[in-house]
């Protein structure tokens, strides 16, 4: 898909992730924040011929680290990050995975509890706004955190598998300042291991 970009539909109903992420949060987060990033990106694309005909991923990679493309990068990366976040969640999911992902967790972290502790720590410890990521690189699972709109998509050899959004608009209506409770609830109840498996390829 190239510009003008359109909102990717949510893969579930607005209330499907309750009580961890409630319909009110989805309404503001997907309906307003995410939509604004997309509208901004389309505005930039309409005014900049160099963005025409490029995929969202290509725009992100081409604009990363360029001082004159900061606004383009921020909005494009936030569209991609949010699309990825919605797919990283699923109703009645989370907890211990099975199959190849379970084997990789054991190989990479020792056991599921260590993975959970490390992933939660990345989400909780990201200062300010940002993201926690489960990635695959060099044959192992790794955990990364990025500030603001930054994304592992721009790092060679790193394949993102799942993410947790820790911008305040992702959780504040439901959890207020209790980011640790939000992060742990997402891991326990919503992480979409099928999506991670698909991303492994």
Q: Per-residue pLDDT averaged across 100-113, rounded?
A: 97
Does 107 sit behind a cis peptide bond, omega within 30 degrees of 0 on the bond before it? no
Distance CA 168, CA 29 (A): 10
Signed CA dihedral, 193, 140, 133, 128: sign only: positive
What confidence tens digit (pLDDT) does each residue in 80-103 have? Answer: 999 999 999 999 999 999 999 999
Rg (CA), the chain: 17
Distance CA 52, CA 46 (A): 8
DSSP string over 79-127:
HHHHHHHHHHB-TT--S---HHHHHHHHHHHSSHHHHHHHHHHHHHHS-
Residue 5 CB coordination number (10 Å): 19
At a CB cut-off of 8 Å and minimum separation 6, what does 173 contact? 22, 24, 25, 28
What's the confidence (pLDDT) of residue 3? 87
Average pLDDT, the chain: 97
What's the confidence (pLDDT) of residue 19? 97
What confidence tens digit (pLDDT) does each residue in 27-78 have? Answer: 999 999 999 999 999 999 999 999 999 999 999 999 999 999 999 999 999 9
Stretch (H or E) spanning 131: strand 130-137
pLDDT tier at 115 (50, 70, 90 boundaries)?
very high
What's the confidence (pLDDT) of residue 121? 98
Is pLDDT of 1 > 90? no
What confidence tens digit (pLDDT) does each residue in 154-174 have? Answer: 999 999 999 999 999 999 999
Q: Per-residue pLDDT averaged across 10-31, rounded?
A: 97
């Amino acid at each position: 898909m190239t510009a003008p970009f359109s909102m990717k539909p949510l893969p579930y109903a607005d209330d499907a992730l309750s009580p961890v992420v409630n319909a009110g949060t989805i309404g503001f987060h997907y309906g307003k924040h995410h939509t604004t990033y997309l509208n901004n990106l389309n505005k930039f694309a309409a005014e900049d011929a160099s963005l025409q005909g490029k995929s969202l991923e290509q725009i992100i990679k081409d604009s990363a680290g360029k001082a004159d493309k900061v606004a383009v990068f921020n909005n494009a990366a936030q569209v991609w990050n949010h699309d990825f976040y919605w797919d990283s969640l699923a109703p009645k999911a989370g907890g211990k995975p099975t199959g190849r992902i379970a084997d990789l967790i054991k190989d990479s972290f020792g056991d599921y509890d260590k993975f959970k502790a490390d992933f939660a720590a990345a989400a909780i410890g990201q200062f300010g706004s940002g993201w926690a990521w489960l990635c695959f690189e060099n044959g192992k699972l790794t955990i990364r955190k990025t500030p603001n709109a930054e994304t592992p998509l721009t790092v060679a050899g790193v394949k993102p598998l799942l993410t947790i959004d820790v911008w305040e608009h992702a959780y504040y209506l439901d959890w207020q300042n209790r980011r640790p409770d939000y992060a742990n609830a997402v891991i326990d109840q919503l992480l979409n291991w099928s999506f991670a498996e698909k991303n492994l390829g």
